[in-house]
Amino acid sequence: MADDVSSDRKGSFRKFLEHLSGAGKAIGVLTSGGDAQGMNAAVRAVVRMGIYVGAKVYFIYEGYQGMVDGGNNIVEANWESVSNILQVGGTIIGSARCKAFRSREGRLKGAQNLVQLGITNLCVIGGDGSLTGANIFRKEWNGLLEELARNGEINKEAVEKYSHLNVVGMVGSIDNDFCGTDMTIGTDSALHRIIEVIDAIMTTAQSHQRTFVLEVMGRHCGYLALVSALACGADWVFLPESPPEEGWQENMCVKLSENRARKKRLNIIIVAEGAIDTQNRPITSEQIKELVVTQLGYDTRVTILGHVQRGGTPSAFDRILASRMGVEAVVALLQATPETPACVVSLNGNQAVRLPLVECVQMTQDVQKAMDERRFKEAVRLRGRSFEGNLNTYKRLAIKLPDDQIPKSNCNVGIINVGAPAAGMNAAVRSAVRVGIADGHKMFAIYDGFEGFAKGQIKQISWADVGGWTGQGGSILGTKRTLPGKYLQEIAAQMRAHSLNALLIIGGFEAYLGLLELSKAREKQEELCVPMVMVPATVSNNVPGSDFSIGADTALNTITDTCDRIKQSASGTKRRVFIIETMGGYCGYLANMGGLAAGADAAYIFEEPFDIRDLQANVEHLTEKMKTTIQRGLVLRNESCNENYTTDFIYQLYSEEGRGVFDCRKNVLGHMQQGGAPSPFDRNFGTKISAKAMEWISKKLKQSQGKGKRFMTDDSICVLGISKRNILFQPVAELTKQTDFEHRIPKEQWWLKLRPLMKILAKYKASYEVSDSSQLEHVHLQGQEEPAAI
């Protein structure tokens, strides 16, 4: 809320500004190369954070071309210049490929145009080409100024005053082809476009028993093809980094016909536009179509997605990513010294980090070199752990070995959904079932939560049973909030009857409480002494032990889309403030992150107590805002943020206090946040994290084989989660210390450090913690843990 209220917060804000003052500095921001959704969010964050710390910020229109041409291509931006662009795809300041900047003469003109406005800080949003250009420019800067002085274009004082150029890059590219960052700006939105198309194509393909060949973008990088194949369960995928082995034509046809024999009515083949074979010869979608038609006689169609993937509204993930990176970029520019190398702001797990630009570009070029030299294993390794993990998971889930080739473990594993439904649960179930079968277990589906478990609603589930589940919302197994406490005897009896050797629980806070109850009951019920693991799945994102849970991203996108529509209606009527209530129980994740993604003026959450003075300050803030050109307001409220300041109360207060200045409307989003098809993030996250859980179960069962061992220790009953940059299995008994049971939330939540970000971008005074990333890191390849990104 408005941070003017308490003096200690004012003090910390003052310290923050002293530590990070932009007074007297000028920042230029440009977008270059191919456009990507989310670039506007990055531009907005750079402009607002820059103005906020007292710097001047200039738009450089049309990328480097605008810098070379100068004149009215370089214009000072103000707070309102970037209003209402968060939800717009592409880039409002234009992007162009620029030949002139590749020559020294071009860069000389560029330097002259910047110096005239005193711009010595450059924020470049683009791909590796754009960032490499910026680095060359930085290295030559001093020489360029001296040459300009010799030619009499600038004076000697200017050479000394503007002696060095600071450069910070952000990677905007839908291909996710840049090494050093888990996700580039635009990748998640491009996946949204691809998945929307695949979901639509699947329904028509099913009707006609067709095979579809889909070509997606990615000339040098197969990320989009690989992740969309994972997210829709495609039959085959072609990538530039990992070409199919010799004789792939026959293998692919065998696989397609096997799938048809399993009663599958459609085949989906995904091709990256840069797909090649082991001899570096291109593999085209037409070629694949010909092959399928001549060899199998299937009715086959080709769909080339093309520029659809670059267009449309940025996803919530991309908006938050770009906003975080934009603010971080300004901080990095202000902290830079002449000795600081050019850096790239990137994402590692859920941490924003800074990496040396040269190292990232070098590694990105190494991948291409490895591919050119046909060192494909090396190319996959250089792409990073996340890419390699995706590829291995895809192979495990797409190709089933014949039964006689799978060594049997003689173990039975049960899978159960608990709590409220969350989009992505079905993808998690599919993944666990297939990994389990590949590991030689018999997999059992338990229907309708612990209640169904007690009643014996348990059935063996096969590889083919879970086909096509990734794109389905809700929970196909059915789910209930009931806890196991009152059914312990019955559940133990069912475990015995079906001889279940392990249990995988997918769910939210109820699943966590259920796991605790099962762990306590182990002393009395020996059937419960088996490995158990929980995968967090809830829109509220409130499970202790994990920074993310399955379903939260889909809910966040629903909230963001709705807020976009509401803002649009408000900008038509003018002078209107909307109060929107989100779900989440006591956890403010959806309200806070939704506020960041939708550009809200305030978000009321339980974790940050507020009083009537804060509400009053917010009303005053909105009254001031109505005097500008931005005559609309958006306020989010988490459903349980305060028992007395209800949505109705806040709506009535705002209506009364804003009388004559603005009018109010309220909107409760309700259960639409739990529904809908899962987002690409949730499909992938569900698929990957659930596969990890199943691998853990297999490892535990293998250790005890033939020993008839009972699992009594804490480390055999765990929550699998993502923490900072790592995937961790944490004993549920240890997590109790980190849990606020009364309010069903973890005691510490990582996203609270993003609170000031939302306030700063909405023009409130707040102090932004710059501690966790002010050091330059180096690009590492293999780490111990799997990274948290998808």
Q: E-strand spans in 400-470?
A: 412-418, 442-446, 458-460
Which residues are within 8 A (CB) of 194 and not within 5 positions of it... i.e. 6 or more apart?
214, 216, 224, 228, 305, 309, 680
User: H or E segment at 9?
Assistant: helix 7-19
Contact between residue 202 and residue 269 where contact means Cβ atoms under 8 Å apart: no
- Contact call for residues 415 and 506 (beta carbons, < 8 A): yes
Residue pair 598/567 in contact by the 8 Å Cβ criterion: yes
Phi, psi at 420, each rounded to 5°: -85, 155
Angle at 358 between CA 352 and CA 360, to 5 degrees: 50
696-715 as b/e: b if 16+ CB within 10 A: bbbebbeebeeeeeebeeee
Q: Which amino acid is at 767?
A: S
Residue type, 735: L
The whole-angstrom separation of Cα 35 and Cα 49 is: 22
Single-letter amino acid, residue 789: A
Which of 35, 175, 235, 318 is catalytic? The answer is: 175
| Per-position DSSP letters for 83-141, written without gaps between them | TT-TT--S-TT-----SGGGSHHHHHHHHHHHHHTT--EEEEEE-HHHHHHHHHHHHHH
CA distances from 637 to 405, 579, 602, 666 (A): 55, 7, 8, 10
Least Cα distance to 462 among 439, 499, 436 occurs for: 436
C-alpha–C-alpha distance, residues 753 and 234, integer Å: 38
Q: What is the 3-state secondary structure (H, E, C) of 572-625?
A: HHCCEEEEEEECCCCCCHHHHHHHHHHCCCEEECCCCCCCHHHHHHHHHHHHHH
Instruction: Map tokens 């899962």 to a residue.
Output: 678
Identify the CA nearest to 128 among candidates 352, 380, 365, 371.
365
Match 């992505």 to its residue by tokens.
Answer: 424
Indicate the pairing of strand 74-76 with strand 211-216: unpaired
Per-residue tokens: 156: 């000697």
Say if residues 90 and 186 touch (Cβ distance below 8 Å): no
Q: Which residues are paired to 540 by β-bridges?
A: none
Residue 55 CB contacts under 8 Å (≥ 6 apart), including other chains? 22, 23, 25, 26, 27, 121, 330, 334
Residue 288 near residue 249, CB atoms below 8 Å = no
- In sequence order, what are the residues at sequence separation of 6 or more whose Cβ sits closer than 8 angstroms to the Cβ of residue 211? 205, 256, 266, 267, 268, 269, 292, 296, 298, 299, 300, 301
Cβ partners under 8 Å of residue 254, min gap 6: none
Instruction: Say whether 601 is catalytic.
Output: no
How far, in Å, are 48, 139, 167, 344, 356 from residue 170 at the CA level?
16, 19, 10, 6, 12
Strand order in the sheet with 166-171: 74-76, 56-60, 26-31, 121-126, 166-171, 343-348, 351-356
- What's the rounded Cα separation, in Å, for the pair 344 and 780? 14
Cα separations in angstroms, 510 against 209, 407, 586, 669, 682: 41, 35, 14, 22, 20
Displacement of CA 255 from its chain's centroid (Å)? 32
DSSP for 641-694, written as a single string: S-SSS-HHHHHHHHHHHTTTT-EEEEEE-GGGGT-SSPPHHHHHHHHHHHHHHH
d(CA 145, CA 108): 8
| Residues belonging to the active site | 175
